[in-house]
Structure 1
Amino acid sequence: MGIWIITIFIISYLIGSIHGSKVAQFFSGINIKAEGLKNSGASNAAVVLGMKYGILVAFIDIFKGVFVIIATRLFMQQNGSFSSLEQDALLYLAGAAVILGHNFPIYTGFKGGKGTASIIGILLAIYWPVGLIGLLLLIGTTILTDYLLIGVFVFYFVFLSEAIWFSEGYIPVAIASFLFVMALILHIENFRRLARKEEMRISTFLKRKKPSL
């Protein structure tokens, strides 16, 4: 069991370190980590390069979360020696490794994004009905409040709730709690801007002109 934990974690971390922002940089010629919000997340890609690049980055970062969870589940099913308790623990461990790889990629000096798109893909792949509810709540809350930040943390509450109510054992809950706290820390500046009423509103972003590339 121990060797599989290490193997799954390392592979998931490396896959998580693959950033959609690099694809956006390839097509646009602009390094979004040096512009705008100074990170490689999908929201910053949209701010710097426009909505189509934001969608591209989001799709890639969501997909890697989906891929890792599905691949890990298939591996465990084919191996056949994992209990349901171990399966849930390993799925959440793999998901955490993806987020760590996304947020702190080893080949970019451990400076990455904030993991929002990838956490969406992870929850959709772990249990898609709850993931879909979380995604709808994220979109709905963002529209109602005009702040993506609030929608993101509604989604994190759904993610944590899934671990509490639908997963076996304490490990998924511990991992989901860790990811929630890490997201809070990484978004501290966003909350400060929100308190100062300087956080970007979705309506303001949508009214911006597309950059000429």
Structure 2
Amino acid sequence: MISVYSVLVLILAYLFGSIPTAVWVGQAFYGIDVREYGSGNAGATNTFRVLGKQAGIPVMLIDILKGWTATNLAYLLSVTAIGSHHTAAFINYQLALGIAAVMGHLFPVFAGFRGGKGVATLFGMILAIHLQASLLCVGVFILVLLTTKYVSLSSIMAGFTYSIGVTFVFPVYIKSVIIYSMCICVLILVTHQKNIERLLKGKESKVNLFKSKLA
């Protein structure tokens, strides 16, 4: 049974996700809105592109923390409310909280509902739910990034790796986690549609994480 308290925690998770880190950092320290430059997204990747690593690294870490914190808000509820820790009911509620945070990042109430693509926040979510599969994603992301310098391609490959990880490498027996891992693949493909088009045309920009591109 869904209680009013559990709904309020879901709203809190959305608000955590809605913190527009890239927008606030850009405006507070550089006097610009990163959504007006680069890819036009309010995320860590575009922050790296526009402002460089000094802004990109904090934005990325905070966006990851948003997803991790929101997902772990499940621990605020009593065991009798959602079941004991690591049970299907508990994991399902964590998934709901993580999804709320990702939706907050995509459509942030604090930034006119114009957010980023949610990859860093999504990573924070899966980090809270399945550590081993998440670390596998990190390995694949870094490998693809170092090889191609395409952050978009790295994100897509990492998303598919998570689904493979929870299904075959570190199998879980909670169906909702497996289903959600497949949904992650779809979400990343949808949010990176333009990137995929540019990749196929050879027009996707490569990212130098150690150099600012802001003129």
1:150 Cα offset (Å): 1.8
What is the letter of the counterpart of residue 18 of structure 1?
Answer: I
User: Aligned pair in 2 of structure 1 residues 126, 169: CA closer, same or farther (>3 Å)?
Assistant: closer
Alignment match, 1:94? 97
SS of the residue 1:18 aligns to: coil
* Aligned position for 2:154: 151
Amino acid at match of 1:86: A
> Structure 1 residues 124-133 or 154-163, which shifts more?
154-163
Task: Name the structure 2 match of 1:2.
Answer: 2
TM-score, length-scaled by structure 1: 0.87
Structure 1 residue 180 displacement after superposition: 2.7
**1:59 partnered with 2:58:** no
Matched, 1:20 2:25: no
Q: Distance in 2 between matches of 1:25 and 1:166?
A: 43
Give the match for residue 47 of structure 1.
49
TM-score, length-normalised on structure 2? 0.86
CA 1:175–1:211: 2 relative to 1, 3 Å = same
Q: Name the stretch that deviates more: 26-35 or 2-11.
A: 2-11
Q: What is the rounded CA distance, in whole Å, between the counterparts of 1:109 and 1:210 in structure 2?
A: 26
Query: Which residue identity does 2:2 align to in structure 1?
Result: G
Cα distance change of structure 1 residues 189 and 38 upon mapping to structure 2, 3 Å threshold: same
**What is the RMSD of the two structures over their aligned residues, measured on CA atoms?**
2.1
Is the contact made by 2:51 and 2:213 (CA closer than 8 Å) also made in structure 1? yes
Which stretch of structure 1 is more off in the superposition, 142-151 or 191-200?
142-151
Deviations 1:69-113 (A, max 9, x none): 2332x224xx12215110111111111111110011123332100
> 1:210 deviation in Å?
5.2
2-side partners of 1:57 and 1:153: how far apart? Answer: 20
CA shift for structure 1 position 168: 4.3
- Give the 3 Å change call, closer, same or farther, for CA 57–181 of structure 1 in structure 2: same
Distance in 2 of aligned mates of 1:163 and 1:17: 27
Is 1:188 the counterpart of 2:215 in the alignment? no
Q: Which moved more, 1:154-163 or 1:180-189?
A: 154-163
Between the aligned residues of both structures, percent identity stands at: 29
C-alpha deviation, 1:158, in angstroms:
2.9
Q: Residues 207 and 175 of structure 1: is their aligned pair in 2 closer, same or farther, counting only changes over 3 Å?
A: closer
Q: 1:14-41 deviations in whole A, cap 9, x for unaligned?
A: 1100021112321111100111111101
Contact in 2 for aligned 1:88/1:168 (Cα 8 Å): no
Q: Name the CA distance, whole Å, in 1 between partners of 2:147 and 2:70.
A: 32
Segments of structure 1 that go 5 or more residues without pairing to the other structure are none
Partners of 2:198 and 2:16 in 1: CA distance = 32
1:147 and 1:200 in contact (8 A); partners too: yes
Q: 1:89 to 1:166 in 2, by over 3 A?
A: farther
